[in-house]
Amino acid sequence: MLKQNLLYKKIIFVCVNQREEGACCGPSGGREIREQLKQLVYEKGLKGVVRVSQSGCMDVCAKGPNVMVFPDNIWYRGVTVADVPKILTESLAGLADENKVMKS
Ligand code: FES
């Protein structure tokens, strides 16, 4: 086993889980949120800085769609596609000042 630092400054996990019954993030917007986040990361030139990953169930299904940001330990719940720019901006707030990673 090898151990090293993360390759990304931030990893944003978006639940895209789909279940047979009950509330679940995937069909209630999770998949679209993930795609919008990925597109925005690409447009802002943040590939390699921010990783947008799909996740399975985070066990908080009724509060979804759910997005979690690491290493910040932030949980966004009840997310909509309209929230995507704010999530990315907030996730990068410290980095933008520090490294000028955000393109306008
Ligand atoms: S389906 Fe998303 S948290 Fe369970």
**Residue located via tokens 């704010």:** 86
Q: What is the pTM of this model?
A: 0.90
Opening angle at CA 76, ends 33 and 97, nearest 5: 90
The protein residue with its alpha carbon nearest to ligand 1, atom 1, reads 24
Per-residue pLDDT band for 102 (boundaries 50, 70, 90) equals low
Residues with CB under 6 A from ligand 1: 15, 17, 24-25, 57-61, 64, 66
14 within 8 A of 52, measured Cβ to Cβ = yes
For domain 10-99, give its CATH number from 3.40.1180.10, 3.30.1330.60, 3.40.30.10, 1.10.3720.10: 3.40.30.10
CA distance 14 to 30: 6
**Per-residue tokens: 14:** 């978006």
Question: 38 CB contacts (<8 Å, ≥6 apart)?
Answer: 52
Share of the chain above pLDDT 90, in %: 84
- Which has the higher per-residue pLDDT, 103 or 79? 79
What is the domain partition of the chain in residue ranges?
A: 10-99
pLDDT in tens, 6-56: 999 999 999 999 999 889 999 999 999 999 999 999 999 999 999 999 999
